[in-house]
Amino acid sequence: MKQILVISGKGGTGKTVVTASLAALVNKKVMVDCDVDAADLHLLLHPIIKERHEFKSGKRAVINKNACQGCGRCLAVCRYDAITSNYRIEEFSCEGCALCSRVCPCNAIRMEENTSGEWFLSDTQYGPFIHAKLGIAEENSGKLVAKIRQVAKELAEQQQLDYVIIDGPPGIGCPVIASLSGVDCAVVVTEPTLSGLHDAERVMDVAQHFKTPVKLIVNKYDLNLSMTDQIESMCQKRTVPLIGKLGFDKKVVEAMVEGKSIVEYANGTLSQELRNIWKKVQD
Binding of residue 136 to other proteins (CB under 8 A): yes
Binding of residue 49 to other proteins (CB under 8 A): no
Report the site for other proteins in 57-86 (rule: CB under 8 A). Answer: 58-59, 77, 79-81
CB 133 within 8 A of CB 37: no
Binding of residue 182 to other proteins (CB under 8 A): no
Binding of residue 124 to other proteins (CB under 8 A): no
Question: Using the rule CB under 8 A, which residue among 192, 217, 244, 271 binds other proteins?
Answer: 192
CB 277 within 8 A of CB 243: yes
Binding of residue 205 to other proteins (CB under 8 A): yes
CB of 143 to other proteins, least distance (A): 10
Interface residues with other proteins (CB under 8 A)?
8-13, 16, 37-40, 43, 58-59, 77, 79-81, 92-93, 95-99, 102-103, 134, 136-139, 141-142, 169-177, 191-196, 198-199, 202-203, 205-206, 209-210, 223-224, 227, 250, 253, 256-257, 259
